[in-house]
Amino acid sequence: MANLGDFQKMDIRVGMIIGVENFPEAKKPSYKLTIDFGQGIGTKTSSAQLAANYESESLVGRLVLCVINFPARQIGPFLSEVLTLGVPDTGGSCVLIAPERNVPLGGRLY
How far is Cα 78 from Cα 76, in angstroms, rounded to an integer? 6
Domain boundaries, the chain: 21-96
Confidence of residue 51 (pLDDT cuts 50, 70, 90): very high
Q: Which CATH number, 2.60.40.10, 3.90.340.10, 2.40.50.140, 3.50.50.60, labels domain 21-96? A: 2.40.50.140
pLDDT for position 79 = 97
The answer to whether 33 and 48 have CB atoms below 8 angstroms apart is: yes
Pairing of strands 43-48, 31-36: antiparallel
11-50 confidence digits (pLDDT tens): 999 999 999 999 999 999 999 999 999 999 999 999 999 9
Instruction: Give, in order, the Cα–Cα distances in Å from 38 to each of 17, 26, 54, 88.
Output: 11, 28, 24, 28
Angle at 95 between CA 61 and CA 33, to 5 degrees: 45
Which pTM value belongs to this model? 0.94
Confidence of residue 1 (pLDDT cuts 50, 70, 90): very high
The amino acid at residue 87 is V
